[in-house]
Amino acid sequence: MSSLFWFRRDLRLYANEALIEALNNGAKDAVFFVCEKQWQRHDMAPIQRDLMLRRVDYLGQRLSEHGIRLHVLDVDEFSDIPASLQGLCNSLSVKHVYANREYEVNERQRDGQCAQLALEFHWFDGDVIAPPGSVCTKSGDMFRVFTPFKRQWLKQYEQSHFSLPSWPSLHNAIKWQTPRCLQSDGESQKWPVDDDSLSAIVERFIDDKLTTYEQQRDFPAIKGTSGLSPYLALGIISVKQLLVNVQQRHPDILQSAKSNLFSWVNELIWREFYRHLIVAYPRLCKHANFNAKYDAVKWRESDKDFNAWCEGRTGYPLVDAAMRQLVQTGWMHNRLRMVVASFLTKHLLIDWRAGEQFFMRHLIDGDLASNNGGWQWAASTGCDAQPYFRIFNPITQSERFDPDGEFIRKYLPELEKVPAKQIHFPHQYLAATQSNRYWPAIVDHKAARERALARFKVDDE
């Protein structure tokens, strides 16, 4: 009996151990399920959907060059997959299915249903270095704070020099024709999906930006981040693949946790931390606060304020520019994600779940574990979250991280002529110049801060 590989959010070839193992065990077929209704229910952003479909089309072409046929099956929901998968395997006389695990609740339920089929599954943890449940306290529990999790993660892997399996020799190319359900609308065209371009992006970051990442990552006007998050979210690039590339230049990177070079690797460990959390605490996939005492917080319901935040009309330039960046490009700088999340949950006292959903509906790098972790961190409801009394001042954040207003002017052309000194909160300047092209401040920072402190006082009860 033959084997089959099942693509999910692991849309890569050469750094995909599960795929290579399937090929080494005779697989000549792979499958990908298009699940439009399920993706809609999961709030997948159209730009991310487009990037995913373009990448699947690319994989189909590349696999066909090696004689591997990619079957693209169109179903509505995850619940439709077991029967469809069994039917495909029966038609191909396949008994063995290779796949990488996914850790969200609905995905785990789907895989549990598939495990009941008359098929033998071979599961891999291709989305992480440390499989969930493998980095634990001495009592075997999941860490509730990041720093000890990181220490244990490093203890397990700091002597590791990662490598990737060799791609098998395959021949006999076959024809590939793009299925109709993979046709792109072009929304994600600015993000390449071919392996040569992605390799070049990774190489440029490691060679040119890694050494300055710690100093430049917080400045949105500078391209100081890796820009790899959309590819990590879809498994187009893996964490192990990135660590292999980093260790080729910096072999001791995992033994240098206090160096500036380690700063970016630290972000990859945060990513693992959030994945471990959603497995240990499945309720996080169901919109629950990690810290149950914050269930007592009474969130405001204001469509007017929420819409102003969504549309970049809060009157705080850094917040507004960040939100317009998200809506216009499908991406937002990480420092700005913290600023706008803090503004929504602390200044406007609007439930973090509304912001989490809005992000998922627009982000090209939307990822449940990281998105949930980031929002709960900002809202002070999460695991190892920002203390409730630390409330970002959007004006001082702007002065510090966009001092000349370069980023603000890019997305707020109405403030183009405002001097750098006034651009971070320009209302007095605009009034003096009789300009009313910009929105008034939706809330006073000092008053909003005091209101938030009072609303979050459950922390002290």
8 A C-beta contact, residue 128 and residue 36: no
Same domain, 235 and 309: no
366 labelled binding-site residue: yes
Same domain, 89 and 142: no
274 labelled binding-site residue: yes
In a domain, 276, yes or no: yes
- CA atoms of 82 and 423, how far apart (whole Å): 56
Query: Both tokens of residue 308?
Result: 């102003």
Query: Alpha carbon of 99 to those of 69, 83, 114, 126: distances in Å?
Result: 16, 17, 11, 9
pLDDT for the residue numbered 458: 66
213 labelled binding-site residue: yes
Q: What is the DSSP string of 313-337?
A: -SS-HHHHHHHHHHHHHS---HHHH
CA quadruple 142, 368, 214, 205: dihedral sign: positive
pLDDT for the residue numbered 66: 95
User: Of 255, 280, 305, which residue constitutes the final position of a domain?
Assistant: 280
269 labelled binding-site residue: yes
In a domain, 184, yes or no: no
Q: Given 3-state DSSP classes, what are the helix, strand and coil percentages for the chain, each rounded to the nearest 5?
A: 50, 10, 40
Query: Both tokens of residue 266?
Result: 């630290």
Query: Alpha carbon of 158 to those of 247, 253, 353: distances in Å?
Result: 11, 8, 36
Question: Rg for the chain (alpha carbons), in Å?
Answer: 23
pLDDT in tens, the chain (461 residues): 699 999 999 999 999 999 999 999 999 999 999 999 999 999 999 999 999 999 999 999 999 999 999 999 999 999 999 999 999 999 999 999 999 999 999 999 999 999 999 999 999 999 999 999 999 999 999 999 999 999 999 999 999 999 999 999 887 899 999 999 999 999 999 999 999 999 999 999 999 999 999 999 999 999 999 999 999 999 999 999 999 999 999 999 999 888 888 999 999 999 999 999 999 999 999 999 999 999 999 999 999 999 999 999 999 999 999 999 999 999 999 999 999 999 999 999 999 999 999 999 999 999 999 999 999 999 999 998 888 888 999 999 999 999 999 999 999 999 999 999 999 999 999 999 877 789 999 999 999 999 999 999 864 44
Torsion angle (degrees, nearest 10) of CA 259, 264, 268, 269: 20
Torsion angle (degrees, nearest 10) of CA 110, 114, 115, 120: -140
In a domain, 182, yes or no: no
Same domain, 158 and 225: yes
Same domain, 57 and 109: yes
Same domain, 248 and 116: no
Query: Both tokens of residue 191?
Result: 């993000």
36 labelled binding-site residue: no
- The CATH code of the domain that includes 117 is 3.40.50.620
Same domain, 114 and 27: yes
In a domain, 287, yes or no: no
Domain containing residue 254: 128-163+195-280
pLDDT for the residue numbered 457: 83
pLDDT for the residue numbered 461: 41
Same domain, 255 and 311: no
pLDDT for the residue numbered 1: 61
444 labelled binding-site residue: no
Residues taking part in catalysis: 267, 270, 299, 334, 352, 375
Same domain, 217 and 348: no
Q: What is the DSSP string of 31-79?
A: EEEEEHHHHHHTT--HHHHHHHHHHHHHHHHHHHHTT-EEEEEEESSGG
Query: Both tokens of residue 55?
Result: 């990448």
Q: Tell the residue number behind the tokens 């529990």, with chain if given.
A: 141
404 labelled binding-site residue: no
8 A C-beta contact, residue 124 and residue 130: no
In a domain, 78, yes or no: yes
229 labelled binding-site residue: yes
In a domain, 176, yes or no: no
User: Buried (b) or exposed (e) across 355-370, using 16+ Cβ within 10 A?
Assistant: bbebbbbbbbbbbbbb
Same domain, 351 and 321: yes
- The CATH code of the domain that includes 333 is 1.10.579.10
270 labelled binding-site residue: yes
267 labelled binding-site residue: yes
Same domain, 257 and 324: no
In a domain, 452, yes or no: yes
Measured N-to-C along each axis, helices 352-360 and 303-310 cross at an angle, to the nearest 10 degrees, of: 40
Q: DSSP class of residue 423?
A: T
- The CATH code of the domain that includes 215 is 1.25.40.80
Q: φ and ψ at 443, to 5 degrees?
A: -155, 150
User: Of 72, 103, 124, which residue constitutes the final position of a domain?
Assistant: 124
Domain total in the chain: 3
8 A C-beta contact, residue 218 and residue 77: no
Same domain, 47 and 7: yes
Same domain, 93 and 136: no
In a domain, 174, yes or no: no
User: Of 124, 153, 180, which residue constitutes the final position of a domain?
Assistant: 124
Residues 6+ apart with CB under 8 A from 172: 67
Q: Tell the residue number behind the tokens 């999941």, with chain if given.
A: 142
